[in-house]
Amino acid sequence: MFLGPLLELTPIGPSSADATAGYTVPVWLTAAARAALAVLLGQPWERHQPLWLHPEAAAAVGELPARVPVQAAAPLADGWVLAMACCDPGPEVLDLTRGLQLWVQLRWLEGPGKWLELRAGEGVGVLQASGAACISAYAEQLLECNLRPLLPPGRRLELQVVIPEGKRLAERTSNAAFGVVDGLALIGTQAEVQRSAGPDQLAQALATLRERAAAPAFCGDLVLVIGENGLDLAPRLGLPPELLLKAGNWLGPLLVAAAEAGVRRLLLLGYQGKLIKLAGGIFHTHHHLADGRAEVLTALAALAGLGGQALQALHDAPTVEAALGDLAQRDPPRAERLRQAIAAAVEQRSLSYLARYGQEAMAVGAVLFDRSRQICGQGPVGLELLTALCTPTG
């Protein structure tokens, strides 16, 4: 129950005069929390919260804080303050956080302890192993450098975060690959959104590729990973960091560019629910642009001899992960063979894609992992390259 009037109820979006769009979830979280803290301190809150976005250089000489919009802030019962922000990943960015409502509740805590206790509310992802809110180090640093200097001496805060649509939207992510359940994680390693489906992301990857290929020590080997999961898993497998290149969703252009740059052996390392698109000839993998995963999966399963209700169950499963997991419970050998067939098809279609552009000299291998970040499928070339490129991990 509200104790006082809602101080500002009309939703607002980023002003065209402010550089407020294009931010990751930690920025919107911090903006809402800062507005809530202003109300808790008995001060008027601002529609555009001044935030330091680079904790290591907060309040540096000559640097001005960014102005990040919030929608509302108001006192609640029992000493709580509610504030809301609406996430905006920026123009021309395909991201499920667009328009995402993020609510925070803030109140004082009594007694000794950390300056901030963060609780995961409805729709916020928690670590399955511990039940703690999944929050990145950058998000914690952002909260500290923007909120802690405003606290009176000796005061502590409790912060509860709610993402009303978080649980539903999390089903469209690979959060489970990080052991995150029940909602969206409060993660991000920087303020600005990395545009994995945008041309600027491709330009950055191409520039990195050309720089590596031009280096005197370049050996002709490259490992393409799609996202953060693969980037994190690859070194654990023993793949040298200097061979890794994050491709985002632009796999087709990067395959061709790698061959043109002189790469002789290329390993594709990716989540099975993403790389399966290549087996269907889809070489830009963002889900807003193309999907067809269920159709590719069932086609490969049918070619492998699966039929009837089992084939229908694969097609009707909500995700590739769920489809293959259910099949593995019923028929483990068949599920393993199907995963190998997917990896082999990724290799074959990649070679066909390269041939269309006159590039046929580069070897392409595929290695798939599942949501527990375990290797679950390898094409014949992928197995060979993984063995050749990995160094002992200890």
pLDDT digits (tens, 9 = 90+) for 41-79: 999 999 999 999 988 776 565 678 999 999 999 999 999
Percent of the chain with pLDDT over 90: 64
Residue 190: predicted pLDDT: 85
* pLDDT the model gives residue 95: 72
* Alpha carbons 129 and 166: distance in angstroms, whole number: 19
Q: Is the pLDDT of residue 17 over 60?
A: no
Amino acid identity for residue 71 in this structure: Q
The string over 127-147, giving b where at least 16 C-beta atoms fall within 10 Å of a residue's C-beta and e elsewhere, is beeeeebbbbebbebbbebbb
User: Mean pLDDT throughout 205-215?
Assistant: 92
Residue 234 and residue 269: Cα distance in Å, rounded?
Answer: 8
Q: What is the mean pLDDT of residues 84-93?
A: 84
Q: What is the pLDDT of residue 6?
A: 35
Q: Give the integer Cα–Cα distance in Å for 284 and 291.
A: 10
Average pLDDT, the chain: 87
CA distance 247 to 116: 37
Report pLDDT for 260: 93
Q: Which residues contact 337 (CB under 8 A, 6 or more apart)?
A: 304
At 386 the pLDDT is: 95
Exposed, middle or buried by CB within 10 Å (0-12, 13-18, 19+), for 27? buried
Q: Is 14 left (phi over 0), alpha (psi -120 to 50) or beta?
A: beta
CB of 97 closer than 8 Å to CB of 89:
yes
- Phi, psi (deg, nearest 5) at residue 97: -85, -5
**Cα angle for residues 155, 156, 157 (degrees, 5° grid):** 130
Which regions of the chain carry the CATH code 3.30.2110.10?
25-184
Residue 106 sits at φ, ψ, to 5 deg, of -135, 140
User: Across residues 140-150, what is the average pLDDT?
Assistant: 96
Alpha helices in the chain (DSSP H): 25-40, 137-147, 166-170, 199-214, 228-237, 251-260, 272-279, 293-303, 308-316, 320-330, 332-356, 380-389
- For residue 287, the model assigns a pLDDT of 59
Distance (Å, whole) CA 69 – CA 49: 6
Stretch among 113-117, 119-123, 246-250, 270-274 having the lowest mean pLDDT = 246-250
For 340-389, how does the pLDDT look when each residue is reduced to its tens digit (9 = 90+)? 999 999 999 999 999 988 898 999 999 999 888 889 999 999 999 999 99
Q: Is the pTM of this model over 0.75?
A: no
Is 60 exceeded by the pLDDT of residue 108? yes
| Cα angle value 280/284/287 (rounded, 5°) | 85
The radius of gyration computed from the CA coordinates of the chain, to the nearest angstrom, equals 24
* In the predicted structure, residue 289 carries a pLDDT above the cut 90: no
Amino acid identity of residue 350, one-letter, is: S
Of the pLDDT bands very low, low, confident and very high (cuts 50, 70, 90), residue 103 is very high
CATH class for domain 25-184? alpha beta
Taking every pair of Cα atoms in the chain, the longest distance, rounded to a whole number of angstroms, is 71
**What is the band of 13 on the pLDDT scale with cuts at 50, 70, 90?**
very low
The pLDDT of 278-306, averaged and rounded, is 84
pLDDT of residue 93: 63
